[in-house]
């Protein structure tokens, strides 16, 4: 198990690998996303948070996942375009990954090990959110139905 989120690498939508250490000392909101999900309007609220706080070293990082009723059928490149065109997303989106099961990406293994809910460590649906402080602590996990704008106060405490 990685001892820090910043020891983990992820892939951009173009396949280029990037270390999460590039986001060191920033407050992060990590979200598993899907363009065809009924919760996809949350993209707009995530973008609102990104626009409001990115100047304060706050980052929204979107990680598409196709594990929930195949609600992210797009290719990585197409998904990024769909998010830009339909939801005006400008925050970083990454290549699709698994959040549960045998092929769970190391990022989500780490996040769930830090903020698994007492009854289950699995991710239940798209748009589960994890808030991480500047010292790499996973502060809180938010259910998929929690509005991104409703966690604005938690973000403000960290920036």
Domain boundaries, the chain: 8-148
Q: Where are the beta strands (DSSP E) in 38-158?
A: 58-64, 129-132, 138-142
Query: What's the pLDDT at 2?
Result: 47
Exactly one of 27, 34, 37, 89 is catalytic; name it: 37
In this prediction the pTM is 0.92
Query: What's the pLDDT at 85?
Result: 78
- Cβ burial of 110 (10 Å; 0-12, 13-18, 19+) is buried
**Can you tell me whether residue 12 is helix, strand or coil?**
strand
User: 8-148 maps to which CATH number?
Assistant: 3.40.30.10
Query: What's the pLDDT at 4?
Result: 77
Q: Is 65 a catalytic residue?
A: no
Query: What's the pLDDT at 117?
Result: 56
Q: What is the pLDDT along the chain (159 residues), one digit of tens a residue?
A: 446 788 899 999 999 999 999 998 999 999 999 999 999 999 999 999 999 999 999 999 999 999 999 989 888 888 888 787 787 899 999 999 999 999 999 999 999 888 655 546 789 999 999 999 998 899 999 999 999 999 999 999 999
Query: What's the pLDDT at 143?
Result: 93
Annotate 111-142 with b (16+ C-beta within 10 A) or e (fewer): bbebbeeeeebebebbbbbbbbbeebebbebb
């Amino acid at each position: 198990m990685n001892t820090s989120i910043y020891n983990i690498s992820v892939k951009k939508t173009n396949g280029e690998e990037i270390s999460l250490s590039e986001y060191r000392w920033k407050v992060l909101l990590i979200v598993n996303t899907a363009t065809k999900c009924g919760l996809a309007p949350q993209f707009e609220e995530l973008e609102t948070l990104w626009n409001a706080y990115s100047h304060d070293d706050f980052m929204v990082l979107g990680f598409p996942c196709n594990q929930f009723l195949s609600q992210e059928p797009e290719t990585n490149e197409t998904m990024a375009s769909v998010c830009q065109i339909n939801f005006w997303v400008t925050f970083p989106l990454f290549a699709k990954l698994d959040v549960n099961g045998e092929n769970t990406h190391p990022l989500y293994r780490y996040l769930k090990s830090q903020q698994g809910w007492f009854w289950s460590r699995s991710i239940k649906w798209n748009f589960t959110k994890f808030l991480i402080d500047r010292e790499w602590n996973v502060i809180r996990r938010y259910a998929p139905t929690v509005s991104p704008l409703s966690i604005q106060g938690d973000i403000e405490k960290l920036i």
